[in-house]
């Protein structure tokens, strides 16, 4: 009997991480303007997520808005679902996404530093403060009742940097609006997450923080991101009438 072919998934993902590191390192070396460098880095991460996330998820740089007219800060990467939203606005290359559609937001930085962690936490809070509606969902067997929106996931990704003790305390002790569920540093070999955050219940600090330090930061980041998205399932149906008002 012929032997069944096998593939080493760790090596495949390690190759993907090597590619990301090479691209981001080259961007850092050859692009002098900070804004252009940041944009190029964001595009690399967005492209990677758009390629490897399941097709139900979209990933874009965007502002998030709510039915009351409030707007978030500009977010480097918004992971969202278009199933129950008939409108995602695009104006002059900028997307405006209803808060009800959002699963996760990610801040992209060159270095995993305290300043950048605080910056990402503020970005997360600007999205989580927005109002989200929810309606019953019609299906073939009847009607699903309106569901409480799940907590929006938030994270930070970087090319390099480590997590000092003070930064770990910052991550585990933040407010629920500011919390970062996950983050990674490719060259730093760091991946962190808050593994016990409930998608719908209130979460109170200090949160349990787990940190891994090895060469698989991107693998850990991506696989745990997908796992957290699976916990949420599908976003609820938005109330279009609330936006029309």
Nearest to 21 by CA among 242, 218, 236: 218
Which of 23, 109, 123, 187 is catalytic? The answer is: 109
Task: Based on the residue annotation, tell me whether 160 is a catalytic residue of this protein.
Answer: no
Task: Based on the residue annotation, tell me whether 74 is a catalytic residue of this protein.
Answer: no
Q: Which whole-number Å values give the CA distances from 86 to 30, 100, 156, in the listed order?
A: 41, 12, 29
Which of 66, 100, 107, 178 is catalytic? The answer is: 107
Which of 60, 76, 81, 160 is catalytic? The answer is: 76
Task: Based on the residue annotation, tell me whether 109 is a catalytic residue of this protein.
Answer: yes
Kindly report the backbone phi and psi dihedral angles of residue 183, in degrees, each rounded to the nearest multiple of 5, phi listed first: -175, 160
Nearest to 198 by CA among 223, 181, 222: 181
Q: What angle do CA 110, 31, 156 make, to 5 degrees?
A: 20
Write b or e for each residue in 39-75: b if 16 or more Cβ atoms lie within 10 A of its Cβ, otherwise e. Answer: ebbbebbbebbeeebeeebbbbbbbbbbbeeeebeeb
Residues 67, 238: Cα–Cα separation, whole Å? 10
Q: Which whole-number Å values give the CA distances from 98 to 42, 91, 135, 144, in the listed order?
A: 21, 14, 14, 21
Evaluate whether 43 touches 109 at the Cβ level (below 8 Å). no
Residues with a known catalytic role? 76, 107, 109
């Amino acid at each position: 009997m012929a032997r069944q072919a096998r593939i080493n998934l760790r090596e495949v993902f390690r190759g993907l991480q090597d590619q990301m590191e090479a691209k981001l390192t080259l961007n850092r070396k050859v692009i002098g303007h900070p804004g252009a460098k940041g944009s190029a880095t964001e595009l690399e991460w967005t492209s990677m997520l758009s390629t490897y996330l399941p097709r139900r998820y979209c990933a874009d740089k965007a502002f998030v808005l709510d039915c009351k007219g409030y707007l978030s800060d500009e977010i480097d990467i918004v992971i969202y679902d278009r199933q129950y939203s008939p409108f995602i606005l695009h104006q002059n290359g900028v997307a405006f996404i209803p808060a009800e559609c959002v699963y996760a937001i990610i801040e992209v930085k060159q270095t995993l530093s305290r300043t950048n962690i605080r910056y990402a936490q503020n970005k997360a809070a600007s999205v989580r403060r927005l109002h989200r509606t929810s309606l019953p969902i019609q299906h073939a067997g009847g009607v699903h009742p309106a569901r409480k929106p799940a907590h929006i996931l938030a994270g930070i990704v970087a090319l390099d940097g480590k997590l000092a003790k003070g930064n770990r305390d910052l991550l585990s002790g933040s407010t629920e609006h500011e919390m970062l569920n996950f983050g990674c540093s490719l060259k730093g070999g760091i991946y962190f997450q808050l593994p016990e955050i409930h998608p719908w219940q209130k979460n109170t600090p200090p949160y349990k923080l787990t940190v891994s330090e090895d060469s698989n930061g991107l693998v850990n980041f991506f696989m745990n991101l997908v796992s957290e998205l699976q916990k949420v399932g599908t976003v609820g149906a938005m109330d279009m009438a609330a936006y029309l008002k």
